[in-house]
Amino acid sequence: MGVKKISIYDIAKHFQIAKSTVSFIINGKAEERRISKELEKRVLGYVEEIGFKPHYLARSLATGKSNSIGLIVENIGDSFFGPIALKIEERAKSMGYRVVYSSTLGNTQEAIDILKLFRETQVDGYIIVPPVGMEEAVEEVMREGKPVVVFDRMLDGVQVDYIGTNNQEITYAACMHLVEEGFKNIGFVTLDSSQSQMVERLNGYKQAIDQNNGNEVVLSVNYCSNRSDYKNEIKQFLQEHQQVDALFFATNYLCVAGLETLRDLQKHIPEDIGVAVFDENDLFRLFDPAITTIEQPLEDLSKAIFQTLQKRILRGSNRVVYTKKIIPSRLIVRQSTIRRK
Amino acid sequence: MGVKKISIYDIAKHFQIAKSTVSFIINGKAEERRISKELEKRVLGYVEEIGFKPHYLARSLATGKSNSIGLIVENIGDSFFGPIALKIEERAKSMGYRVVYSSTLGNTQEAIDILKLFRETQVDGYIIVPPVGMEEAVEEVMREGKPVVVFDRMLDGVQVDYIGTNNQEITYAACMHLVEEGFKNIGFVTLDSSQSQMVERLNGYKQAIDQNNGNEVVLSVNYCSNRSDYKNEIKQFLQEHQQVDALFFATNYLCVAGLETLRDLQKHIPEDIGVAVFDENDLFRLFDPAITTIEQPLEDLSKAIFQTLQKRILRGSNRVVYTKKIIPSRLIVRQSTIRRK
DNA sequence: TAAATTAGCTAAAACGATTTAAATAATTTA
DNA sequence: TAAATTATTTAAATCGTTTTAGCTAATTTA
């Protein structure tokens, strides 16, 4: 089965020359190695003719570079991570890298296993959206000298490049906007997680509430794959906190569950309850009423991620100061929060 | 930079034994190779102690297996392809495979390049959502004996395993439902593409229209990344076909553009115009009014895809009959098409 | 015209495993 | 106790590249 693959050795044999010569020619080092133009042309012609492609793994084994980067996200099917993965992939491709991806679904052990697997595959660099508890695993990878960029959430106490957004500031802005619109009791629906981006968003909320002498009303749910669990928790939360007149959702999928719940409860947005959410997508834009969202700039984020990673790949991981790059998000105000009294 | 990685040779040296012995032990062949329990235990203990992991590439080079599969989809950020990619990845992982993915964005040349790249990387198998014109490239890969599963759309004239859904039948059912609801002039918005799934969906539409002696009113737009282009085309289409009282969208992103357009034009669903769409997602479910959709069974599809691929990986690509597996979709009727007269 | 330089190419080690064929040591068998 | 068998282990080839060090022949220099 399959055609026996031709190797550099076969080409060498064909011309009665050494395979090193062939290798040099193929890698564009003919001139530098002072190989005659004539031989170069003949070999290149033959390579073209038979459609020879060097064996990727063999090359990687010899050079120690795999030309691939490992992307570990929470969920490739998510309306935030999916599109950003697309952007990352596009950039990677344009620089000659392939992307190996994996979704953690928030599971730490899973994430650690994935990291191990990638490590064994010799990826040249990592882009990681880490669940909590990955500190050690990431440090281990870095100790091996591999470039790592942590994205979306920070890793506590780990010296590593990080790209994120102004979670606290923009959440604060969103909540202040709610206050200005006359909402008095803003509930905050988030994940029960110590992930930095969640903590920051919560802090932004608290900051706004405190400043207005309001009540903090927070629902923290466990990350799970099941939407109906989210719905039940939100429903119960709303029943226990009848006074709540607005909800801020800290992630898009929580908001999806929230919108369903509000519809089930026949609560009208924004008359009965205001709604805003972190992350933008088609649903929020086209929902009736359109939902006020916080939009992360995918293009800028992916650009920053990739530039940072590449710098590391080129420079090596040591000796350089680690950067924390914050790309600001944008508050998009829509009808779901407009209720001027 | 980086810690020098330990190799099988280092372990051999440590025990003053041959590296082949170490290799056998690590690969669980100690018994079969009659290596003493005692040595096996010592080596395994040491391996554990120092956390040795065999070099993936070296192993792949020696065995000819890379334990990775290449996934080529249209757009990993799409609300259909993203979630299905997640499912595929989960299955792959559970079988010990990694997934390398890439998005074509409908570009044939891009897809061919990706395929080439994957080929060079020695992936063990391919899952491909092919743009038109990939026939030859896919055949070439198959000639090399690599397992290929084509998904979502068929590849004309290529002998290859295919997993898809009952596009024509279910689209027919959806359109018949529109008819039954009293819609008289159903417009069909699709891609200007000869992709099989698009052709089948169109045929399902035509079948329903013909059967009811209706008028075929079809808008074929070019695949592009820009939503506003879609919107403009749809707007113009609606202006040129004032009589149209329902729209069926052949893909989710066309429908997103369509919903925006209808909103811009202040057309009410379903009073002014009915709406149905191929593929289900949060937006369609929660839109007001909820949109009638055709839901492809992600779980079953991914299962079928992976099972088919695995069969090929195990059996080799030759000598077996190629299968076309059709996993039926489900029509989910919602308010956007309910207008009984 | 001998020595130095340069042009053009090659041999062999290395990357880190797997795998086949075989060697050696211990134990049975006859 | 020599031959046969079995239990352990090993050497070396292989996978397909890259890369370092060096060789030979032609040319230039002195």
The model's pLDDT over B5-18, given as tens digits with 9 standing for 90+, comes to 899 999 999 999 99
Mean pLDDT of the A209-230 span: 93
Task: Determine whether the distance from the CB of B283 to the nearest atom of strand D is below 7 Å.
Answer: no
Nucleotides of chain D touched by protein CB (<7 A): 7-12, 14-21
Mean pLDDT of the B13-34 span: 94
Q: Per residue in B168-186, pLDDT tens?
A: 999 999 999 999 999 999 9
Q: Per residue in A244-274, pLDDT tens?
A: 999 999 999 999 999 999 999 999 999 999 9
Across the interface, whether the CB atoms of A98 and B77 are under 8 A apart is answered no
Q: How far apart are CA B120 and CA A125, in angstroms?
A: 20
Strand D interface, B 14-43, C-beta < 7 A: 16-21, 24, 33-36, 39
State how beta strands B98-103 and A98-103 pair.
antiparallel
Q: Chain A: residue nearest B317 by CA? A: A1
Across the interface, whether the CB atoms of B316 and A57 are under 8 A apart is answered no
pLDDT score of B72 more than 50: yes
Q: How far apart are CA B283 and CA B98, in angstroms?
A: 31
pLDDT at B301: 97
pLDDT at B4: 64
pLDDT at B317: 52
Q: Which of B98, B148, B262 is most worth mutating to test chain A (most A CB atoms within 10 A of its CB)?
A: B98
Asked if the C-beta of A103 comes within 8 angstroms of chain B's C-beta atoms, the answer is: yes
CB B260 within 8 A of CB B231: yes
Tell me the percentage of chain B whose pLDDT exceeds 70.
97
Choice among A234-243, B270-279, B305-314 with the minimum mean pLDDT: B305-314
Q: Is A231 exposed, middle or buried (0-12, 13-18, 19+ CB in 10 A)?
A: middle
How many CB atoms within 10 Å of residue A292?
27
Task: Determine whether the distance from the CB of A65 to the nearest atom of strand D is below 7 Å.
Answer: no
Please report where in the chains the tokens 């400043």 appear, as a residue: A211
Please report where in the chains the tokens 């604060």 appear, as a residue: A172
Task: Determine whether the distance from the CB of A36 to the nearest atom of strand D is below 7 Å.
Answer: no
Mean pLDDT of the B120-133 span: 91
pLDDT score of A2 more than 50: no
One-letter amino acid of A47: V
pLDDT score of B340 more than 70: no
Residue bearing the bigger pLDDT, B64 or A179 = A179
Across the interface, whether the CB atoms of B259 and A286 are under 8 A apart is answered yes
The arrangement of strands across the sheet holding B68-73 comes to: A324-327, A161-165, A148-151, A125-128, A68-73, A98-103, B98-103, B68-73, B125-128, B148-151, B161-165, B324-327
Confidence of residue A319 (pLDDT cuts 50, 70, 90): low
pLDDT at B1: 43
**DSSP result, A231-284:** HHHHHHHHHHTTT--EEEESSHHHHHHHHHHHHHTTPPTTTT-EEEEES--HHH
How many CB atoms within 10 Å of residue B115?
24
Which range, A89-93, A190-194, B97-101, B113-117, has the best average confidence (pLDDT)? A190-194
Minimum-distance nucleotide, CA of A36 to C1': C8
The gap between A27 CA and D27 C1' (Å) is 28
pLDDT at A214: 93
Residues 6+ apart with CB under 8 A from A139: A158
pLDDT at B339: 80
Q: Chain B: residue nearest A82 by CA? A: B77
Q: How far apart are CA B235 and CA B256, in angstroms?
A: 13
Distances (CA, A) of B106 to A109, B74, B225, B234: 36, 6, 9, 20
- Going by the DSSP 8-state scheme, the letter that residue B95 receives in this structure is T
pLDDT score of A106 more than 50: yes
Q: Per residue in B287-315, pLDDT tens?
A: 999 999 999 999 999 999 999 998 888 77
Choice among A169-173, A204-208, B111-115 with the minimum mean pLDDT: B111-115
CB B123 within 8 A of CB B66: yes
pLDDT at A45: 96
State how beta strands B68-73 and B98-103 pair.
parallel
Across the interface, whether the CB atoms of A144 and B3 are under 8 A apart is answered yes
Q: What is the pTM of this model?
A: 0.90
Confidence of residue A24 (pLDDT cuts 50, 70, 90): very high
Mean pLDDT of the A194-215 span: 96
Across the interface, whether the CB atoms of B100 and A102 are under 8 A apart is answered no
> Following CA atoms B251, B257, B258, B262 in sequence, which dihedral angle do they give, to the nearest 10 degrees?
170
pLDDT score of B29 more than 90: yes
Residues 6+ apart with CB under 8 A from A307: none
pLDDT at B2: 47
Q: Per residue in A34-91, pLDDT tens?
A: 999 999 999 999 999 998 989 988 999 999 888 889 999 999 999 999 999 999 999 9
The gap between A61 CA and C13 C1' (Å) is 14
Across the interface, whether the CB atoms of A66 and B82 are under 8 A apart is answered no
From chain A residues 76-95, the ones with a CB under 8 A of any chain B CB are 76-79, 82-86, 89-90, 93
pLDDT at A340: 62
pLDDT at B120: 77
Nearest to A20 by CA among A57, A62, A74: A62
pLDDT score of A148 more than 70: yes
Confidence of residue A19 (pLDDT cuts 50, 70, 90): very high
Minimum-distance nucleotide, CA of B5 to C1': C16
Average pLDDT, chain B: 92
How many CB atoms within 10 Å of residue A196?
19
Q: How far apart are CA B154 and CA B318, in angstroms?
A: 19
Across the interface, whether the CB atoms of A2 and B146 are under 8 A apart is answered yes
Q: How far apart are CA B220 and CA A87, in angstroms?
A: 27
All structural domains of chain B: 8-63 (1.10.260), 68-165+299-328 (3.40.50.2300), 167-295 (3.40.50.2300)
Cα torsion angle, B184, B190, B194, B199, sign: negative
Residues 6+ apart with CB under 8 A from B226: none
Choice among A89-93, B41-45, B233-237 with the minimum mean pLDDT: A89-93
Mean pLDDT of the B249-272 span: 96
One-letter amino acid of B182: G
**Angular region, A125: left φ>0, alpha ψ -120 to 50, beta rest:** beta
pLDDT at A1: 43
pLDDT score of A275 more than 70: yes
pLDDT at A62: 93
Tell me the percentage of chain A whose pLDDT exceeds 70.
97
How near does any CA of chain B get to the CA of A127, in Å? 14
| Least CB–CB distance from A76: residue in B1, B55, B85 | B85
Task: Determine whether the distance from the CB of B63 to the nearest atom of strand D is below 7 Å.
Answer: no
Q: How far apart are CA A187 and CA A255, in angstroms?
A: 12
From chain A residues 300-329, the ones with a CB under 8 A of any chain B CB are 316-318
- Residues in chain A within 8 Å Cβ distance of B107: none
Asked if the C-beta of A283 comes within 8 angstroms of chain B's C-beta atoms, the answer is: yes
